[in-house]
Amino acid sequence: MRVHEYKYALSHPASKTNLSTINTTTNFTLSPNRSNHTSNFTTAERTTTKMSTPTDPRPTFFLNLPTTSLPTATTFYTTLGFTPVPAWNDDSTSVLLLPAPNQSVCLMLHTHSRFAQFTRRGTAIADPRAAQQALFSIMCKDKEGVDGWLGRAEGAGGKRDPYVMEGFGEGMGMYVRSWEDLDGHVWEGVCLLAGVGGGAGEQGKVE
């Protein structure tokens, strides 16, 4: 099942696709004269195929990012501990699940041409190093968890601390470190300090 087919099944219960087990699933084939876009699947032809369950539970949130190199971006996130879902991949999209306990979040990496199919017509795909619209934050149990993300990202070719909060966020009761992926998208690891909303205790404090 390809990514656009999975998204279609999520939004069209009438397809009768069993998303909780995905033991039998619906494979959608577009007519030759139609473009490859989710809005066109209302006229899709349906055939039944067998495939194993890619993930349990099914993803509840999809994060879509454009990339200039699908293979290198996939390798980068796999090195960080994301879990690839090859059954949902094609030549233009690579699908990975975030590491536990966030495995219900699905990262979808797209070539620019594929990403443009899911965006408003006439809009440009921003260069994340020139303009930033979103920041992706991962909550960690403690400071060591945050630093672990930072080390893995840098080891995979990412950039450490593209931005640095004053005191690494201590004044806000947090420990925050950031990293930049190979396309310039910025992520951060965050943990709460001791005594702040169930923070990790002494091990979460900034040294």
CATH assignment at residue 19: 3.30.720.120
In a domain? residue 60: yes
C-alpha dist (Å) from residue 37 to 34, 53, 119, 183: 8, 24, 10, 24
Confidence (pLDDT) at 51: 33
Q: Which of 167, 147, 168, 151 is nearest to 159 (CA)?
A: 151
Any domain includes 170: yes
Give per-residue pLDDT as tens, 5-44. 555 444 444 443 344 333 323 333 333 333 343 333 332 3
- CA quadruple 132, 144, 77, 190: dihedral positive or negative? negative
Pair 106, 197 in one domain: no
Answer yes or no: do 108 and 151 share one domain.
Answer: no
Torsion angle, CA of 180/186/187/192, rounded to 10 degrees?
A: 110
- Both tokens of 178, joined, read 């950031």
- Let me know whether 141 and 112 are in one domain: no
Which of 36-40, 96-100, 169-173 is predicted with the least confidence, judged by mean pLDDT? Answer: 36-40
Residues 109 and 141 reside in one and the same domain: no
pLDDT digits (tens, 9 = 90+) for 67-90: 999 999 999 999 999 999 999 999
CA dihedral 55, 60, 66, 72 (to 10 degrees): -30
- Residues of the chain above pLDDT 70, percent: 67
* Separation of alpha carbons 157 and 122, rounded Å: 33
Which of 116, 145, 177 is at the close of a domain? 116
For residue 158, the enclosing domain spans 136-204
Q: In the chain, how many domains are there?
A: 2
Asked if 187 and 181 touch (Cβ cutoff 8 Å), the reply is yes
Rounded to whole angstroms, what are the CA distances from 25 to 6, 39, 52? 9, 20, 10
Grade residue 195 by pLDDT with cuts at 50, 70 and 90. confident
Domain assignment present for residue 128? The answer is no
DSSP bridge partners of 176: 190
- Tokens representing 146 are 């945050």
The residues facing 96 across adjacent strands are 84, 107
Number of CB atoms found within 10 A of residue 86's CB: 9
Tokens read off for 92? 């233009």
Residue 30 domain-assigned? yes
| Three-state DSSP class for residue 103 | coil
Greatest pairwise CA separation for the chain in angstroms: 62
- Report the pLDDT value the prediction gives residue 198, as an integer from 0 to 100: 53
